[in-house]
A and B are shown apart, each in its own frame.
Chain A
């Protein structure tokens, strides 16, 4: 059963610490998305990659967030330094968009708490 895998599932960290979240997309999918979910803002797109190249990261605070795809099986989202306002659930999703098929499949999310 193919699925998007995110690690860790939960992370509690102190303000100022570096946080790295990892995502393994579904094998064969060429597009990876990072979304953030908060009570105030809902679900918002942070960044996305196609064929490992970043296409859009306009939703991401550039000064502290960075997203990379070192290879086709791993995407990372890093926050350095973390702040309490970064507390949220971070979702990774993958897909292979075409005219006929555009749905993205989501991982279970990483719940981040910054204290």
Chain B
């Protein structure tokens, strides 16, 4: 069975600091997908990124970047120059290659960015 672990329950930073959210997964699948979702205080789940298991290229989108390392089964998320609006719960999720869209979520990391 798949498992996603987000070891950091809560992180608190001051605006403009960089912050990295860790995600480690366990699976025996060779094909799979990894996701990050953001849940702001309003409660909805916002899709941020999807990676497949064959693509270990790091990705950057504005202030967000993701580091996927298959060797350590990690898919970490970094916010550069954090802003108050980044305050949210962030979830890492896993989708086995034969169960498209059926997500196993980590427990989430609460990020608070102070002004």
One of B22-30, B39-47, B72-80 contacting the partner: B39-47
Compute how far the CA of A35 lies from the CA of B41 in the bound complex, rounded to whole angstroms: 18
What's the Cα separation between A111 and B44 when bound, in Å? 11
Given contacts A42-B105, A42-B107, A42-B108, is CB(A102)–CB(B44) below 8 Å?
A: no
In the complex, are the beta carbons of B43 and A104 less than 8 A apart?
no
Interface SS of chain A:
strand
Stretch of B13-21, B63-71, B94-102 with 4 or more beta carbons under 8 angstroms from chain A: B94-102
Listed stretches A11-19, A63-71, A78-86, A90-98; interface member = A90-98
Interface string of B72-115 (1 = CB under 8 A from A): 00000000000000000001000100001111111110000000
Residues of chain B touching chain A, judged by Cβ–Cβ distance below 8 Å, are: 33, 35, 37, 42-47, 50, 91, 95, 100-108
The 10 A-B pairs at the shortest CB distance, nearest first, are namely A97-B100, A106-B45, A43-B105, A97-B101, A108-B44, A102-B100, A95-B101, A104-B101, A42-B107, A103-B47
